[in-house]
Amino acid sequence: MTQGSRPGRGNQRPQGSGNGRGRGATGAGRSDQNPRSSTPRSGSERGTESSAGSWSKAHGGPKQSKKAGAPGKKKYGGPQAFGKERFGKNLGPVNAERTRPTQRAQAAAAHSDLEGVRLQKVMANAGVASRRVCEEMIANGRVEVNGVLITEPGIRIDPEHDSVHVDGMRLQLNADMQYFVFNKPRNVVSTMEDPEGRKCIADYLRKQGQTRLFHVGRLDYQTEGLLILTNDGEAANRLAHPSHEVPKTYLVQVRGPLPSGIGAQMKKGIKLEDGWQSVDSFRLIDSTPGHVLVEVILHSGRNRIVRRLFEEVGFPVTRLVRVQVGPIRLGDQKQGTIRPLGKQEVGHLLAMVGM
């Protein structure tokens, strides 16, 4: 990056609500004869319909654990970056610690081509805001290039090699990088092909005209909910790596009643066959005769970890839905659908893993 010659100017429900009109993230609230439904309703399950509102409420906005968040988030004044986007409006300030560039990397960036692109133009082209608003963001100290705070709009950068953060969010300047959320239904394999001929992720990607994507992590055959799909290999590796401790939020349905002390036991730690494991957060959402709905947050990516934890304490899972990964929420997305992440969501996601 260099100085220019002159300054220039982003519900899950276990059952229906009774009238069958509610629609959660997995299409709950419809009968099992409807192909869009994700919630088979046996005779024993109909009694849990009074808890559907709680499932929906929790699914729309599960709380993060203290471990997943961080105190003292920096607040930025002025217009919001990517303020016109539908998704990611309520994510708030980025609170992740990024890996600072080495002196060699900063020195290399400092020798960018003099014919580079002005910073405010790069930001505007990325959809942050108008060029004039981008100039104000730069002047107000809300923009970093290669880890260095920039307050001069005349700076020129190389979009192919320089990294830009606005309000802590990483701008993805490579238009070839794609990020999606897939709401995985039950009885779908989290692979791109299955030798047994079962439904897999690729079957849904082909409907969208997308095939050259891969999934970040997995959900077991019976588990529903959020899977991130991308062609960004570095981001996928970081999101899946245990060192980044990306929090994952699940809604868990078990047969009740659930004794007091189970949550404290899970937060303290439970010994499994592959070692000790604990949850970051355990919150009772709703309880009706014979059924309990719990929200758990944990950062482990071990195989079938949530199911194994509940089995260990004597309460096998009857339904499991992942509703959030890091800052990305499933919301009211229909089951079996794929949607692109908004630029704010991408920026928060990349910042969370130090990019």
Closest CA to 223 of 319, 147, 81: 319
Question: How far, CA to CA in Å, does 8 sit from each of 5, 59, 136, 148, 286?
Answer: 9, 45, 11, 19, 56
Is-contact 109 1, C-beta < 8 A? yes
Measured distance CA(288)–CA(257) in Å, rounded: 8
> Quick one: tokens of 62?
């599960």
Q: Which of 220, 232, 274, 280 is an active site residue?
A: 220
Pairing of strands 179-184, 214-216: unpaired
Instruction: Say whether 220 is catalytic.
Output: yes
- The region, left, alpha or beta by phi > 0 then psi within -120 to 50, assigned to residue 265 is alpha
Is-contact 22 54, C-beta < 8 A? no
Residues designated catalytic: 220
